[in-house]
Amino acid sequence: MAPPRRPPLAHALARHLGLVLVSVLLAVSVIGYCALYLATQARLPGMFELTSSLNNTMPLALAALAQTMVVLTRGLDLSIGGIIDLSNALAALYLGTTAASMALASALILLAGAVLGLVNGALVAYGRLQPILVTLATLAIFQGLAIRVLPQPGGAVPEAYTALLVNTGAPYALVYVLALMLFWTVLRRSQVGIALLAIGDDEAAAAANGIDPVATKLVAYTLSGLIAAAAGLFLAAQATAGDATTGNGYTLTSIVAVVLGGVSLFGGRGSGIGAILGAFVTTMIVNILFFAHIDPLYQSFYEGAFLVIAVVLAEGLGRLVRRRRARA
Amino acid sequence: MNDADERHAASLEAISVSKSFGGVRALHEASLRAFPGEVHALVGENGAGKSTLIKLLGGRLRADSGVIRHHGAAVALKTPDAAHRLGCWTVFQELTLLSAMSVAENLLLRREPRGAFGLTSERRLRQTAEAVFARFGIHDIDPGALVEDLPLADRQVIEIVRALSHDPDILLLDEPTSALMERETAWLFGEVRRLRDAGRTVVFTSHRWHEIAAIADRITVFRGGRDVGSFTTLGEDEAVTLMTGQRVETLYPPRPAAPASEAALTVADLAGGRLASASFSLHRGEILGVGGLAGHGHRELFLMLFGAMPRKAGRILRAGHEIRPRSPRQAIRAGIALVPEDRKTEGLLLPLSVRDNLTLAVLGRESRLGVLRRRRLRSVAAAMTTRLKVRMPDITSPVAALSGGNQQKILLGRWLLADCAVLLFYDVTRGVDVATKHEIYELMTALARDGRAILYYSSDAEELAHLAHRVLVLREGRIAAELPASGLNAEHIVAAAMRDQAAA
Amino acid sequence: MSGGGKRRRVLPGLSPTGRRVLYAYAATVLLFLLGGLVRPGFIQATNVLTILTVAMFVGLVAAGQSFVILIGGIDLSVPWVLNAAAILLTTSSGGENARAAAALALTLGMGALVGVANGIGVAVLGVPAVVMTLAMNGIMEGLTLGLSGGMTCSACASYAPPLVQGLAHGSLLGVPAPLWLWLAVIGLVSFLLQATVFGRATYAIGTNLRASELAGLRVRATVIALYGLSGVTAALAGIMLVGFGGQASLGMGEPYLFQSIAAVVIGGASILGGRGHYLGAVAGAICLVTLISVLLAMNMAEYGRSIIYGVIILVLLLLYGREARES
């Protein structure tokens, strides 16, 4: 009897269905955007549009990747917005003007983000508390700290810093996006990444295989805090000043991006690349709404409706693929 | 050989180990001594402590007291890794595969073949996994498939291969055969014998006596959290007496009298999922057995009859009237009840009280305008616990505090309260100990005598042969054979289930 | 942990949930005493009644949040349902008593409709509750902003009908009318959860959805109804809030998401479902609002309040968590 084997492509499609769907979604939304742009501006979007889209999306892409780390372990990090706030506020005050001071301050801010993430992780892993509640509480704490650091919007971000992170002249941000995707790819193929997915899939089973759930969760939340802090830095560079409330919206939009990116909120399934692409889909939708001359007041309505439709369609498609596989 | 020598020779020993969970004693000063070159069977009822002991030896749990020795040296098995380092690998009763990952990723978890920068790749994983499977003669499992897409038997095989592939010095198998069919069990026993002949130690548990008799060199019996004896030869009757502390006269109660001719349930060309087509009638007072290999449409048949899965085609007649159950609620209205395989996840609400669990299906009946008649709920629940002789602290205690057998009674009681005339029993005795099995059989035959119609799927052909009036054997989604009770035995059922496969 | 087998049991004879409810009430009393120390007059009847009235707004939203948390769900759409309700009431009534009844019905109906839509998304379409209600919050935000033209519409400046304002400010037997309303809600919710088939089904579904379905319970209908109720209570809170303040404003619902969830959790409910009681959430709401009042009385800055808020919730979570593991 010949062993039943499916072609590797069929397996890949089944495993990365979420990634495939978000790629299609991104392609469709980019095409839609270009078509609308062409219709209204009588030309195709160029380098400037590409650059600004990339730059605008970087903070969300980072926040989405941060959220992915936690969601993969079957958690939810509501404190991401708070960490972005704090990192943003610190950046506006302490970056300094020399290259050395900027590098040092950035490193320390990233470290602070990692430590805050570690606190979340410790509460979840050692305290065995529900992630959503822990991070709801730490969100309040981090937001409070951010306002303490920077009571009024202000401070300053040096031009050189902005030029480095948010260069408006050319789509350099593409490098950052690719670097993030590379980071995910490496992580996914490393022991740590496998452990992350494993404990989100089935914590007891992972533990029986010798994977340490406590250590893995600590790593997940620490990475989340670190990446969220990076989002705060990008946001500061973009605004060229600080605002201790600027990150608040990112908690929820990061969840939107993650869900669009095909990462399961039930843990164990999904890809950081999907989440990053999900962030870009979100940006594209805002762009489309803008060029479709939709009243910006209605923006959240369309985003919300789109989210539900996308999730329902993805769910339906997933079920269809699953049924076909089961029958075959 | 004197005692000191023997202790020295033992490869793995548990000496007076105890383990409690929240005040409940799972193991109490239990001991086990396993030697190189032997297959050591652990037998005992559910809750006797076998699985807890295996978890202690596998590094999943830590003992409250007692010593574990490996080749004479005391060891602390704090983690599964600690056990692995001693060459001790375990297949736990609850499978530990990660369902969203591929077979290859699971098989090679934490020892992925790594290339440049210590990174792994799917292709590399697949190839290595393929080679590992081939080494153990497994060719029909696709390493690239996701575990969640595989039937239970395949998952069990993967788990076993994973343990075998570490070339274990000591292999612990906790009920490895409960999900396996004849052919896979034969494969497993071949591997077990190979290990034994190479001087390794294999410890395993099973509820199937013929397996134990076939392969065990030594049998240790557990009862109530401790070992009550170790034997090189032991008869089944003696073993049951030791396990239960009492003599179970006959496991199987007499078959109830021939059923009435009146059909309680008639099924015509039912199809959906893996069930291609099934037609049969179930009569009042009949126990109609359903047998065959797992994954051939049994689950779909039961779920569709209960309205828990959409039908693709076919008609269902309940006492002559066509019904179209689109939800369990509608099926229950029509007097059909399902007792699922996994009472803990699909049947009972463990933290809720005995009363709440019993009355769950009759809340509508026992209420007025949506307001519960609480006194009445309490009294009907109390009456049912008396009728079924449920042993429990109190009617308000959580069902989780009851023993497995009593939990099963609560679930049955729920459907008796709902007055369901057709009972669908889906593999309710799988992994259940002898004494509880006996109680379930008694209940089932009593219900049939009472005039209820019972459709009964079991993965244990022996049971079907003893209890059922007729047995339908499902193969590839169709009824491959209908076997009458006269002269029925387990071999017939198994043969009918496998016939085509043997020919292929 | 330490101490081996000897476990000190606080208040034996009470379920863990019951004990947590008591803790929350005890914490409230302590906070009042602390407030009295910080500022004399804090424990005067008028101040206590004011605090309770403010707590009612949280408590109403927490009623709905309790319903959905009991089945392991969550309602993130609360802020903009509340806000939309407040604006819908003022704009549709135009501040006239004659149109008050119709406006109230319309507003509560809107809340129910939005909630039911959430429930259908969760129970029928299979969208995770976090995603569904998050999206719904956006949908309601967009609709509210868009339809009101960002609160620039001519009717947007309307006040709540005097009748509704009277309800929010009036009093009966020396007790503010909102508290009577709250008492009625407490009675109704407790009755629903404890004495009806619906309530029993709610706990069953929260404990094990699949088993509840296989036991013949109306799982989908119950889930949809629970989300519908959450929409209604959020709308009711919006009505009371606009009656209290007179006019609606944008963003007035924002604080109530965090506070409603916190109240339910402080009250001892399990976020995983199946365990909890509305009386706990009531205690949680009062406790939370008292805490804020004490901090305000201490002239604590906003950032300090936010931090202490978070810390207190963490401490309670750790306390409850420890207890759960011991039992």
Domain that holds residue A68: 46-315
B498 in any annotated domain:
yes
Both B312 and B347 in one domain: the answer is: no
Neighbours of chain A (3+ CB pairs under 8 A): B, C
Tens of pLDDT along C277-316?
899 999 999 999 999 888 888 888 889 988 998 998 898 8
B458 and B413 belong to one structural domain: no
To the nearest whole Å, the CA of A316 is away from the closest chain C CA by 9
Chain-chain contact of A304 with C130 (C-beta, under 8 angstroms): no
Of B189, B214, B244, which one is at a domain's C-terminal end? B244
Q: Is the predicted pLDDT of residue C132 greater than 90, yes or no?
A: yes
Rounded distance between C-alpha atoms, residue C93 and residue C161, angstroms: 7
Tell which phi-psi region holds residue A24, choosing left (phi > 0), alpha (psi between -120 and 50) or beta. Answer: alpha
CB contact under 8 A, A197 and B109: no
> Using one digit for the tens of pLDDT, what is the confidence trace for A281-293?
999 998 898 888 8
| pTM, to two decimals | 0.89
The secondary structure of A79-94 as a DSSP string is: THHHHHHHHHHHHHHH
**Residue C190 binned pLDDT confidence (cut-offs 50, 70, 90):** very high
Average pLDDT over residues C103-132: 94
Whether residues B428 and B415 share a domain: the answer is: no
Residue A123 and residue C314: Cβ atoms within 8 Å?
A: yes
- Domain-located, residue A156: yes
Q: Which residue has the tokens 């309770």?
A: C52
State which residue of chain A sits closest to C319, comparing Cα positions. A127
| Contact status, residue A117 vs residue A231, Cβ threshold 8 Å | no
Contacts of B318 (CB under 8 A, 6+ apart): B264, B265, B334, B335, B336, B422
Q: Which residues of C touch A303 (CB under 8 A)?
A: 135, 138, 142
pLDDT of amino acid C10 = 44
Q: What single-letter DSSP state applies at residue B259?
A: P
Tell whether A253 is covered by a domain.
Answer: yes
Residues B121 and B202 in one domain: yes
What's A83's domain CATH number?
Answer: 1.10.3470
Location of structure tokens 């042969």? B465
Nearest to C310 among A129, A144, A297 (CB): A144
Between C205 and A128, the more confident residue is: C205
Domain assignment present for residue B447? The answer is no
CA C168, CA C245: separation in Å to the nearest integer? 9
Q: Are residues B273 and B290 in the same domain?
A: yes
pLDDT per residue of chain B (504 residues) written in tens, 0 to 9: 444 455 458 999 999 999 987 667 889 999 999 999 999 999 987 778 898 999 999 999 999 999 999 999 999 999 999 999 999 999 998 889 999 999 999 999 988 888 777 788 888 899 999 999 999 999 989 999 999 888 888 999 999 999 999 999 999 999 898 788 888 999 999 999 999 999 999 999 987 888 898 999 999 999 888 899 899 988 887 887 888 766 555 778 888 887 778 889 999 999 988 899 999 999 999 999 998 877 788 889 999 999 999 999 999 999 889 999 999 999 999 999 999 887 888 889 988 999 999 999 989 888 888 898 989 999 999 999 888 888 888 888 888 888 777 888 888 899 989 989 999 999 888 766 777 788 888 888 988 998 899 999 987 788 888 889 999 988 888 888 888 887 777 778 877 776 654 333
Of A130, A144, A307, the CB nearest to C303: A144
Q: Do A189 and B101 touch (CB under 8 A)?
A: no
Q: What is the pLDDT of residue B498?
A: 67
| CA atoms of C326 and C143, how far apart (whole Å) | 48
Which of C71, C210, C214, C326 to mutate: most B Cβ within 10 Å? Answer: C214
Residue numbers in B near C214 (CB within 8 A): 306, 308, 328, 338, 340, 346-347
The partner residues of B170 in beta bridges, in order of sequence, read B88, B201
Beta pairing, strands B201-205 & B170-174: parallel
Among residues A166, A161, A170, which one has the least CA distance to residue A50? A170
Is residue B188 a part of any domain in this protein? yes
- Neighbour count for residue C105 (Cβ, 10 Å): 11
Residue B258 in any domain: the answer is: no
Identify whether residues B427 and B412 lie together within a single domain.
no
Domain count, chain B: 3
DSSP state, A242? B
Contact at 8 Å (CB) between C274 and C39?
no
Tell me the CB-side half-sphere exposure of residue B191, using CA atoms within 13 A: 23
* CATH assignment of the domain containing B41: 3.40.50.300
Enumerate the H helices of chain A as residue ranges. Answer: 8-15, 17-41, 47-72, 80-94, 99-125, 131-149, 159-165, 173-188, 191-201, 203-208, 213-239, 248-260, 272-291, 299-327
Our CA angle for C83, C89, C90, nearest 5°, is 95
User: For position C212, what pLDDT does the model report?
Assistant: 92
Number of domains in chain A: 1
**Interface probe, candidates C74, C124, C127, C140, chain A, greatest A C-beta count within 10 A:** C127
Number of A/C CB contacts below 8 angstroms equals: 142
Handedness of CA B209, B215, B219, B224 (dihedral sign): negative
* Residue B45 near residue B243 (C-beta atoms within 8 A): yes
- Work out whether strand B478-484 and strand B470-475 pair parallel, antiparallel, or are unpaired: antiparallel
Residue B257 domain flag: no
User: Could you tell me if B369 and B403 are in contact, meaning their C-beta atoms sit under 8 angstroms apart?
Assistant: no
User: B441-498 pLDDT, tens per residue?
Assistant: 888 898 899 889 999 998 778 888 888 999 998 888 888 888 888 777 777 887 777 6
Q: Are residues B138 and B116 in the same domain?
A: yes
In Å, what is the CA distance from C53 to each residue of A234, B313, C56? 43, 59, 5
**Domain range holding B22?**
3-244
Per CB distance under 8 Å, which residues of A are interface residues toward B?
A: 1, 3-6, 8, 11-12, 14-15, 186, 189-191, 194, 197-198, 201-202, 204-212, 268-269, 322, 325-326
Residues B222 and B211 in one domain: yes
Instruction: Using DSSP, state whether B422 is helix, strand or coil.
Output: strand
- CB contact C275 to B (< 8 Å): yes
Same domain for B371 and B468, yes or no, is: no
- Quick check: is B132 in a domain? yes
Q: Do B411 and B425 lie in a common domain?
A: no
Q: Quick check: C323 contacting B, CB < 8 Å?
A: no
Within a domain: B278: yes
Could you tell me which chain C residue has the CA closest to the CA of B411? C215
Kindly report the nearest CA distance between residue C22 and chain A, in angstroms: 21
**C17 in contact with B at a CB cutoff of 8 Å?**
no
- C176 forms beta bridges with C171
Residue C254 has pLDDT above 50, yes or no: yes
Residue B79, in any domain of the structure: yes
Kindly report the backbone phi and psi dihedral angles of residue C126, in degrees, each rounded to the nearest multiple of 5, phi listed first.
Answer: 75, 25
Same domain, yes or no, for B185 and B271? Answer: no
In angstroms, the separation between the Cα of residue A30 and the nearest Cα of chain C is 22
Which residue in this structure is represented by tokens 């990008």? Answer: A234
Residue with tokens 């208040």: C11
Instruction: Say whether both B286 and B411 belong to one domain.
Output: no
Pick the residue from chain C with its C-alpha nearest to B24: C5
Q: What is the DSSP annotation of B195-233? A: HHHTT-EEEEE-S-HHHHHHH-SEEEEEETTEEEEEESS
pLDDT number for residue C82: 96
Kindly state whether residue A256 falls inside one of the protein's structural domains: yes
Nearest to A162 by CA among A242, A224, A104: A242
Alpha carbon distance A163, A174 (integer Å):
14
* C201/B contact by beta carbon, under 8 A: yes
Kindly report the nearest CA distance between residue A100 and chain B, in angstroms. Answer: 31
- This complex has an ipTM of 0.88
- CB within 8 Å: C208 and B327: no
- With contact defined as beta carbons under 8 Å apart, do A247 and A83 qualify? yes
What is the DSSP secondary-structure string of C11-58? Answer: STTS-HHHHHHHHHHHHHHHHHHHHHHHSTTTTSHHHHHHHHHHHHHH
